[in-house]
Structure 1
Amino acid sequence: MLQWISDNSEVLNLVANWAMVLIWIVYLQVFLLSFRRQTLPKIVINRAAGSTLDAACFVSNMSSDAIYIESVLVEIGAGDDTLGCTITDFEFFDGEKGSDDPKLRTYQGTLGPSQYTSLGKFEDLIASVARRTGHDVENLKSAGGPITVEITIIADYASEDQLIGARRKFRATWEGDHWKLIAETTETQQIRSPRERKRISELIAADE
């Protein structure tokens, strides 16, 4: 056995060297994938503090770095009607007076890692979209069918050249004497494909 090893030492060394190279390649790939996973941006959109339309819509930054929220899009579906618009900046109606501080008149702004912000009640989001698109929110609610609310967040992220985004859809159904609100998906959909990110960049440009 020892003689066979001695006679084939060059071949065995070559095999051992290539095996070591292969191990390092696999290790490097695992390391790069783990690093990429840790640095990927992640935005979570969720319902909080209730399960009716009075529940708040929270946006959380689960990324390793801060994000800057550029725009908030909301699309409402009720019966045959589909309404959608940007609600990034607050609009005031019927004599409403907002804060003089510009930071309190918009959803735009920086959100650090593990921080969250509230978009307000789902009922207010529905009402805001209805008013901005010239519809009566009570007519939407009285249609009898479910109401869907899709929230899309568009943001900047330091390590990404293109805008990032996330979306999640919720459904409200009338149950007895109140609206019951649930998320249609278990997780927030991250907008990461180049095609979708290009589309949201075009949406931002068209809104300016």
Structure 2
Amino acid sequence: MRFGNSRKMDARQHIFQGKEVIYFFSNLWDWIQENATVFSGLTSVGMLLIWGVYLQLLLHNFRMQRRPQIIINHGYGRGIDSRCIVSNMSQSAVFIDSIIVKLETSDGQYVTDVTDTVDEEGESSKDVNVKELRQVTRQGPLGSGEYMNAGTFRTLLQKVASEHGIGLDESCRPTGEEGFSNVEIRLIMIFGAEKSPIGASRRFHMKYDENKKLSLIPETIGTQQLGKRRQRLKVRRWQRDLRMPFDADTGQNR
């Protein structure tokens, strides 16, 4: 008898709990219906936030595809015979128009266009095939993910020194009283379908050890990108500098 009574009590408890659950959900549904306008507004705000984040991601990806990313670095060592490597990490190809070397010394600054290479007799005058064009000039397109060997720093410094009448020894130390301090590699390029040129530059400190061995130390971790509107004005000044005589004593154009 006691066992039967306990079963009846359990059944009544289950029925009572079931009624409480039904009553709870009924009240919850009534509360949701009464506040349907609030829930609709919150849903609209949530969807607006989601679309805002989505549009920001699309805009970020679009800007990344339109943003040039050029890397200037030295490869195969850090000495005077290391290679100057130019890499295009942009999503689109770039056209390298000019490569400029700015040499900073104790007597002033010297700027030289090193876009075209030279042979032992000076500027090459013989006809060159299209496949061999890279052997006489560094000008040309550079695809996405591609890199270019702009020559050794020794070759670049020798061309600057030769153009400005600076004597160099075997270790690329100046034979005169002036001393070298920094060298800056500048690039003038056309990116994609844009009409105005963009630029990139990186500066290297020149340090000599006790054995007169030269080391090139980058001043910054990355390459400076000159793609914004104000920065492109600086690139245009670089182009003007190539057409005007440079005063090494003052570091200004005449």
**In the comparison of the two structures, how many residue pairs are matched?**
207
Q: CA contact under 8 A between 1:57 and 1:120: conserved in structure 2? A: yes
Between the aligned partners of 1:64 and 1:134, the Cα distance in structure 2 is 41
**Cα distance, 1:85 vs. partner?**
2.1
Point out the structure with max Rg over C-alpha. Answer: 2
Between the aligned partners of 2:88 and 2:156, the Cα distance in structure 1 is 20
Between the aligned partners of 1:206 and 1:146, the Cα distance in structure 2 is 21
* TM-superposition CA deviations, 1:104-157 (whole Å, max 9, x none): 322110111111111111111111112222333349635585531100111111
2:112 aligned with 1:85, yes or no?
yes
Between the aligned partners of 2:179 and 2:240, the Cα distance in structure 1 is 35
Between the aligned partners of 2:102 and 2:239, the Cα distance in structure 1 is 16
So what's the TM-score if we normalise by structure 2? 0.73
Which of 179, 204, 209 aligns to 1:170? It is: 204
2:224 aligned with 1:193, yes or no?
no
Unaligned ranges ≥5, structure 2: 1-27, 244-254
Report the CA distance shift for 1:207/1:149 in structure 2 as closer, same or farther (over 3 A).
closer
Report the CA distance shift for 1:50/1:206 in structure 2 as closer, same or farther (over 3 A).
closer
Q: CA contact under 8 A between 2:75 and 2:85: conserved in structure 1? A: yes
Q: CA contact under 8 A between 1:53 and 1:123: conserved in structure 2? A: yes
Structure 1 match to 2:216 = 181
Equivalent AA in structure 1 for residue 174 of structure 2: K
Unaligned ranges ≥5, structure 1: none
**Cα distance, 1:185 vs. partner?**
1.2
Between the aligned partners of 1:52 and 1:206, the Cα distance in structure 2 is 28
Structure 2 match to 1:129 = 160
Q: CA contact under 8 A between 1:60 and 1:115: conserved in structure 2? A: yes
Report the CA distance shift for 1:111/1:12 in structure 2 as closer, same or farther (over 3 A).
same
Residue range with higher mean Cα deviation, 168-177 or 96-105: 96-105
Between the aligned partners of 2:168 and 2:215, the Cα distance in structure 1 is 17
Bigger strand share: 1
Structure 2 match to 1:10 = 37
Between the aligned partners of 1:91 and 1:83, the Cα distance in structure 2 is 19
Equivalent AA in structure 2 for residue 160 of structure 1: E
**Cα distance, 1:62 vs. partner?**
0.9
Which of 105, 110, 131 aligns to 2:141? It is: 110
Q: Which has the higher contact order (CA 8 A, sep 6+)?
A: 1
**Cα distance, 1:34 vs. partner?**
2.8
* RMSD of aligned Cα (Å): 2.4
Report the CA distance shift for 1:161/1:3 in structure 2 as closer, same or farther (over 3 A).
farther
Residue range with higher mean Cα deviation, 116-125 or 81-90: 81-90
Q: CA contact under 8 A between 1:53 and 1:172: conserved in structure 2? A: no
Between the aligned partners of 1:97 and 1:37, the Cα distance in structure 2 is 40
Structure 1 match to 2:174 = 141
Secondary structure, counterpart of 2:60 in structure 1: helix
Between the aligned partners of 1:195 and 1:32, the Cα distance in structure 2 is 22
Secondary structure, counterpart of 1:107 in structure 2: coil
Between the aligned partners of 1:36 and 1:196, the Cα distance in structure 2 is 17
So what's the TM-score if we normalise by structure 1? 0.87
**Cα distance, 1:159 vs. partner?**
4.6
